[in-house]
């Protein structure tokens, strides 16, 4: 039975043993669609996160998707175009149940203003990364990546941990909301600014944010006390980062680490210019887009100038993947890209080995299924420090949102081994229901984004989008249950292409085959992508694990 959802009463959390669809594969994808709305930012408008990342194009499309998933057979494939179901075609039982292409616009037309016009006409929607692919699991979906970034900074600059260190950031939405808990787990005193009081309250209610300060003076005093005591603390502050960051700099305060995860990628539906209320911004989104874009970019200029000022004074400053440097450069900040991107600065050696954010969701809705898989991970990978450290921390600190789920950075071979063992536990009844396996789109072979994932690649292949397209075709060939190709919408239009995948462990031998082929080939391509760019870690991985790399 579905569970009541106190945050969104009209969107219950799925679960239970009863099937509405004709098989668990179909039921799994239906529950994942329901789940992204149950944990979404604005489910009444189908928005999951990032201002515009939607689960379906509109409500008629959503209802048609639900009806089709319930009625379709296992030898059919549902075809979805930018959140709208367009075909249910006869394929075969080993083919994907769902294939999607969301927000892919021809190159010269892939601009924000074209996207907004197509969106107004009801012809397109942006799937975000995991929103339109029904893979979002709440703020937990990005929390380990955020934590690993903080820990790489700690190792590089601060002796291994962030206790007694001040982290300044902004953005408490569907992605940025992971930051306060990740910072606290890393031992820091972290101040998180957001313009929307409801977002701050939500993060506090779900356990990701400890305190909300009434003003900047109080917030800074709370942070200073925690730094002095080397006490981990997360503090939220309602305000505009374009005003707060420069004011902190003006006072001569230099945080140890500075970043930002506001929705700076979208100057209309995401970022809020200083001097404007949320209501004023909302009133301009339809008829005043030009004015709003200009005001947002002007605020971002001041925002990024303050970040650069902190950097010059010794702060560790990085871009967390929201295009804020790109917007600032277009606004005239010539040195905006002196701020490094997090992927290149901290995580590329992991991606070169296809180690990235892998995730699984308990379709039963029972938390004990995740606890059992936690135990399994600790038993299977006792020498993997990243995994053992993370699982123990996650158990202690991370509350579940929606379907119980976990994310952990696993690499080539590890993902397949875990998933196949889990499939055995589903078959034996030790788990209370099937498990859906997925991953973030920000994965080794799955994303081309020259200002985020593929910035400054060793061979200069930053902008080549062949890899996520190859990944999608390979995953279809490898019998995955859902395969999607996304490109950017809003301010991300023209900046990225990515591929997503979901495979369901339903306890059958057919699932064993799907998990083995899809997960193994997905990470194989990730390693090959980085080997092709010349990364030594990838060549090591190929040699050690026998990946079928063709040398030219």
pLDDT of residue 125: 95
Q: Who contacts 459 (Cβ-Cβ below 8 Å, separation ≥6)? A: 532, 533, 534
Whole-number Å distance between alpha carbons of 438 and 157: 33
Q: Is 396 helix (H, G, I), strand (E, B) or coil?
A: helix
How would you label 224-242 residue by residue, b for 16+ Cβ within 10 Å and e otherwise?
A: eebbeeeebbbbbbbbbbb
pLDDT of residue 530: 98
User: Which helix (H) or strand (E) element contains residue 168?
Assistant: strand 166-170
Joined together, the tokens standing for residue 340 give: 């490094």
Q: What is the distance of C-alpha 548 from the center of its chain? A: 29
Per the CB < 8 A criterion, the answer to whether 332 and 308 are in contact is no
pLDDT of residue 175: 83
| Distance in Å from the first CA to the final CA of the chain | 55
Residue with tokens 């206790």: 163
State the CB neighbour count (10 A cutoff) for residue 425: 17
Kindly report the CATH class assigned to 21-138+356-544.
alpha beta
Rg (CA), the chain: 22
pLDDT of residue 288: 87
Q: For 229, phi and psi rounded to 5 degrees?
A: -90, 0
pLDDT of residue 174: 80
Q: What is the distance of C-alpha 426 from the center of its chain? A: 27
Per the CB < 8 A criterion, the answer to whether 28 and 434 are in contact is yes
- How is 295-358 classified by DSSP, letter by letter? HHHHHHHHHHHHHHHHHHTT-EE-B-SSSHHHHHHHTT-TTGGGSPBHIIIIIHHHHTTT-EEE
pLDDT of residue 494: 96
Query: Which of 254, 198, 206 is closest to 234 using CA atoms?
Result: 206
pLDDT of residue 142: 86
Q: What is the DSSP letter of 158?
A: S
Contacts of 26-29 spanning 24+ positions with Cβ under 8 A: 26/69, 26/70, 26/72, 26/74, 26/97, 27/69, 27/363, 28/363, 28/434, 28/436, 28/481, 28/502, 28/504, 28/506, 29/69, 29/97, 29/98, 29/134, 29/481, 29/482, 29/502, 29/504
Q: Who contacts 394 (Cβ-Cβ below 8 Å, separation ≥6)? A: 140, 144, 374, 406, 408
Strands (E), 84-136: 84-90, 98-102
Q: Who contacts 457 (Cβ-Cβ below 8 Å, separation ≥6)? A: 533
- Region 140-340: CATH code: 3.40.50.10730
The residue ranges of every structural domain in the chain are: 21-138+356-544, 140-340
Per the CB < 8 A criterion, the answer to whether 222 and 264 are in contact is no
pLDDT of residue 15: 96
Q: What is the distance of C-alpha 156 from the center of its chain? A: 25
pLDDT of residue 502: 98
pLDDT of residue 259: 98
Residue with tokens 């959140």: 83
pLDDT of residue 154: 96
Segment 68-77, tens digit of pLDDT: 999 999 999 9
CA neighbours within 13 Å on the CB side: how many for 274?
A: 17
Residue with tokens 């292949």: 461
Where the chain has pLDDT below 50, the residues are: none
Whole-number Å distance between alpha carbons of 284 and 405: 38
pLDDT of residue 450: 96
Per the CB < 8 A criterion, the answer to whether 545 and 413 are in contact is yes
Per the CB < 8 A criterion, the answer to whether 310 and 254 are in contact is yes
pLDDT of residue 139: 82
pLDDT of residue 1: 78
Q: Who contacts 303 (Cβ-Cβ below 8 Å, separation ≥6)? A: 241, 242, 245, 246, 260, 264, 324, 328
pLDDT of residue 108: 96
pLDDT of residue 464: 98
pLDDT of residue 165: 98
Contacts of 54-57 spanning 24+ positions with Cβ under 8 A: 54/83, 54/125, 54/126, 54/127, 54/128, 54/131, 54/132, 55/83, 55/131, 55/132, 55/134, 56/83, 56/84, 56/125, 56/132, 57/82, 57/83, 57/84, 57/122, 57/124, 57/125
| Residue 410 β-bridge partners | 356
Q: Who contacts 155 (Cβ-Cβ below 8 Å, separation ≥6)? A: none
pLDDT of residue 206: 87
Handedness of CA 418, 423, 429, 435 (dihedral sign): positive
């Amino acid at each position: 039975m579905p569970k009541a959802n106190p945050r969104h009463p009209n969107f219950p959390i799925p679960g239970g043993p009863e099937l509405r669809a004709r098989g668990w594969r179909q039921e799994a994808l239906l529950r994942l669609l329901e789940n992204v709305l149950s944990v979404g930012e604005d489910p009444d408008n189908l928005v999951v996160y990032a201002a515009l990342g939607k689960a379906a194009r509109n409500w008629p499309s959503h209802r048609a998707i639900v009806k089709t998933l319930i009625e379709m057979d296992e030898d059919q494939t549902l075809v979805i175009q930018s959140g709208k179901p367009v075909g249910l075609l006869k394929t075969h039982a080993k083919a994907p149940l769902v294939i999607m292409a969301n927000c892919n616009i021809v190159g010269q037309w892939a601009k924000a203003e074209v996207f907004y016009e197509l969106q107004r006409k009801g012809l397109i929607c942006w799937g975000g990364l995991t929103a339109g692919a029904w893979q979002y699991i709440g703020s937990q979906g990005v929390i380990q990546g955020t934590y690993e970034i903080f820990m790489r900074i700690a190792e590089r600059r601060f002796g291994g941990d962030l206790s007694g260190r001040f982290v300044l950031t902004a953005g408490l939405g569907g992605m940025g909301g992971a930051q306060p808990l990740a910072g606290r787990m890393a031992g820091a005193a972290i101040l998180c600014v957001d313009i929307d009081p409801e977002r701050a309250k939500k993060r506090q209610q779900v356990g990701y944010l400890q305190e909300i300060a009434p003003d900047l003076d109080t917030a800074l005093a709370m942070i200073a006390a925690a730094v002095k005591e080397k006490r981990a603390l997360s503090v939220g502050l309602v305000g505009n980062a374009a005003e707060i960051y420069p004011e902190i700099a003006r006072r001569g305060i230099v945080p140890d680490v500075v970043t930002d995860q506001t929705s700076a990628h979208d100057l209309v539906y995401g970022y809020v210019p200083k001097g404007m209320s949320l209501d004023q911004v909302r009133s301009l989104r339809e008829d005043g887009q030009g004015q709003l874009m200009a005001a947002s970019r002007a605020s971002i200029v001041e925002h990024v100038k303050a970040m650069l000022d902190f950097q010059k004074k010794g702060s560790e400053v990085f871009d967390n993947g929201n295009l804020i440097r790109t917007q600032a450069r277009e606004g005239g900040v010539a040195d905006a890209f002196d701020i490094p991107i997090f992927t290149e600065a901290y995580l590329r050696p992991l991606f070169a080995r296809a180690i990235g954010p892998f995730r699984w969701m308990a379709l039963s809705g029972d938390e004990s299924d995740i606890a059992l898989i936690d135990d399994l991970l600790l038993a299977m990978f006792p020498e993997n420090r990243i995994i053992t450290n993370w699982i123990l921390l996650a158990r202690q600190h991370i509350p579940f949102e929606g379907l119980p789920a976990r994310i952990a950075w696993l690499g080539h071979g590890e993902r397949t081994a875990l998933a196949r063992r889990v499939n055995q536990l589903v078959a034996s009844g030790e788990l209370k229901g099937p498990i859906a396996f997925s991953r973030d789109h920000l994965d080794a072979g799955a994303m081309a984004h020259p200002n985020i994932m593929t910035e400054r690649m060793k061979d200069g292949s930053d902008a080549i989008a062949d890899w996520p397209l190859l990944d999608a075709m390979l995953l279809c060939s490898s019998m995955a249950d859902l395969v999607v190709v996304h490109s950017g919408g809003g301010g991300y239009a023209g900046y990225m292409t990515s591929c997503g995948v979901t495979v369901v462990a339903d306890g059958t031998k057919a699932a064993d085959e799907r998990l083995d082929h899809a997960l193994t080939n997905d990470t194989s391509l990730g390693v090959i992508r980085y080997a092709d760019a010349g990364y030594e870690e990838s060549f090591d991985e190929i040699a050690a694990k026998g990946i079928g790399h063709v040398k030219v």
